[in-house]
Each structure stands twice: as C-alpha cells, then as structure tokens.
Amino acid sequence: MRWMRVMTSADTYDAQLTCAVPKTVNRLTSVADRSALGRELARWSARNSSKGAVLLESVNSLQFLAMGHSLAELQHAIQQQDLLGKRTWEARRRYWSLISWRYLTPPESRVVGALMALSCRGADDSIVRGALYFHFCLADRLTFDVATDFLPPLADDLLVYVCKFLSAEGKTAREILGALDFRLWGHTPQEVGARLAQLSQSGTLRFEWVGDIALLDLGEEPFDAYARRLGQEAR
C-alpha cells in the first residue's frame, strides 16, 4: 500500500493563496474559487488543521464581530492584541488564517452575518457547533469529501438552516433532497425527506410530493435571517 503525506494548512496556506488568484476586498482576501456563500468550488485545499477545530477561537472571533467590530479590527485584535490568547506571532497569524478562511471568506458573504448571529448561543450549543461544522466542511473540499467518521446529530433547526442555505444557492426542492451536504451527517435523501415530512406535519415548513414533483416551502425567511432569530431565541 502506498502512503501519501497530506499537507496541512501550515504547509500550504501561503502557497495556496498565490495559486488561488485572490482579489482584495477592503484589505481582506476574497478568494476566487469560493462561491458567494463560501463553498470551495475547485479542488481539495487541505485547510484542515493539526490544531483541531479551533472551535472556541472561532466562536470568540464571531462574538467579537457581533459586538460591532469590523473584519479588519478582528484581524488586528487577533494578530496585534492577542484576542485569542496565542503567545507567538506565528500562532496568531495561523489562527487568523484558519478562522478567516473557514468562516469569513468571502468577507461580503451573508454567511458571516449568520454565524455572527448564532455565536451568541455559545460554543457549547449544538446548533452553533453544527453550523460551524457545516461551513467548515464547505470551506474545505477534502474534509467535505471524506467526512464520514464523525457525524454529529442533525437537529431540526440545523436541518432547516441547511435547507435554507441550499435554497439560497439556487437549488430546487429535489436538488435539496439529494444534496451531498446531508451526508456530512450521514443522512440519505430518503432520511432527509422523512425528516422534512415530520417538520411539515408540525407546521415548521411545507413539504410534500405531488407525483414525481417535490414541493418544499421553507418560508420567505432566508438562512441568515433565520440564524439571527435562532440567536435571539437563545438570549
């Protein structure tokens, strides 16, 4: 059996920014191979980190933004003011690189506002952890394609959030049902359909089959507004 060394973001971050043909938005990097909602489009980037999920650091950063600070102020606070409690410049640079790539790229994405709103629920909240896991996998194509070992439960609120996100990407009801995204939690299209049918019975949304046509009405509230409401409910 041949073994291949998989490079971490520590090995590849600077080189990948060069290869990805970045453009600058307000002095922050928006990479051309990310969709408007943050999905990595082109190829595996191996931006998963040997430092782990950096969950607490990510939530702290999002809460900092939720207080009204800008992305530029967040970068300064992490790298110059030690917001995340990292002693060395290299560690501060690394954490900014990881967090900004996973959750803040492109900086104009509505995902940033959605995660800011959810962050007030705290790092121990299952919806926050699930949303960060979801967007982390979208931002790292390698993780997205091989994430089969750790499958956190997909709560009803998170299921609705993901459906609304996929709808914002322009997917039809049938495409949402068959989306590979739900395999991040180990769900088949049949299981997603069954969950949606249950939510439809409770009045959370409307879902039904009319012949071979799937009808899914998620309401007019987009995913980022839904995230803000979930955030407010936790206060």
| H, E, C per residue of 79-130 | HCCCCCCCCCHHHHHHHHHHHHHHHCCCCCCHHHHHHHHHHCCCCCCHHHHH
pLDDT score at 140: 86
Integer Cα distance of 135 and 45 in angstroms: 15
Residue 67 clears pLDDT 70, i.e. is over it: yes
Helices 156-168 and 189-202, axial angle in degrees (round to 10): 110
pLDDT score at 171: 96
Within the chain, which residue ranges are assigned CATH 1.10.10?
A: 148-233
Residue 28 clears pLDDT 80, i.e. is over it: no
For 68-127, what is each residue's pLDDT tens digit?
999 999 999 999 998 998 889 998 999 999 999 999 999 999 999 999 999 999 998 999
Residue 59 clears pLDDT 50, i.e. is over it: yes
Residue 209 clears pLDDT 70, i.e. is over it: yes
Tokens of 235: 């206060």
Integer Cα distance of 135 and 155 in angstroms: 16
pLDDT score at 29: 45
Integer Cα distance of 164 and 135 in angstroms: 14
148-233 — its CATH code? Answer: 1.10.10
Confidence of residue 40 (pLDDT cuts 50, 70, 90): confident
Q: If DSSP codes are grouped into helix, strand and coil, which group holds residue 40?
A: strand
Q: What is the arithmetic mean of pLDDT over 146-168?
A: 83
Handedness of CA 151, 155, 159, 164 (dihedral sign): negative
Residue 23 clears pLDDT 70, i.e. is over it: no
Tokens 């998620």 belong to residue:
218
Q: What is the arithmetic mean of pLDDT over 216-226?
A: 96
Closest to 33 in 3D by CA, of 23, 41, 22: 41
Integer Cα distance of 127 and 129 in angstroms: 5
Query: What are the E-state strand segments in 71-148?
Result: none
Residue 223 clears pLDDT 50, i.e. is over it: yes
